[in-house]
Structure 1
Amino acid sequence: MREIEAQPLATFCGNCDCGCPQLFVDTGAEPERRVRITDDFGQRVQMSEEQFRDLVAQAKSGALDQLPLAAR
């Protein structure tokens, strides 16, 4: 197994010790898996930089504001 070269970019929440979700860039991963988001349960999502940029652009445009979340 290769050495993980993930660099943390952001922590979401960060006001507790619950293992907050984090955003990483793994420079040693294949291009389609370089961006990694982990949650506080140890799950992770990996995607390309292009996919992540699209996600951020959609969030900025308000396209994700209508997510059917149970409680806000």
Structure 2
Amino acid sequence: MHDTDAPIATFCGNCNCGCPQLFLDLDAAEDRQVRITDDFGQQIQMSREQFRDLLAQAKAGDLDRAATGA
């Protein structure tokens, strides 16, 4: 992670608890350019292609069950 990385999105943002954030790191290997950090200091990294697939599934409603707990 570079000190100059700016988050693309912050999820929550209503507190100072270290909200989850989405970053794009073009200096990283192709399979690790998208990084999502959580509020516990952990992170996942994925390729831009994998992230596009995640977005497509979310837009199609395929992930709604995970968000609602049903």
Aligning the two structures, in what range does the TM-score lie when normalised by the shorter sequence? 0.7 to 0.9
Q: Who wins on radius of gyration, i.e. which is larger?
A: 1
The equivalent of 2:44 in structure 1 is 45
Quick one: which amino acid aligns to residue 9 of structure 2? A
Aligned residues: 68
C-alpha contact (below 8 Å) 1:7/1:26 kept by paired residues: no
Alignment of 1:7-46 (within 5 A): 7-46=6-45
Deviation at 1:27, TM superposition (A): 1.2
Whole-Å separation in 2 of the counterparts to 1:37 and 1:69: 21
Whole-Å separation in 2 of the counterparts to 1:11 and 1:43: 15
Q: TM-score, normalised by structure 1?
A: 0.85
Q: TM-score, normalised by structure 2?
A: 0.87
Q: Which of the pair is proportionally richer in helix?
A: 2
- Any unmatched runs of 5+ in structure 1? none
* 1:69 matches 2:61: no
- Any unmatched runs of 5+ in structure 2? none
Q: CA RMSD in A?
A: 1.8
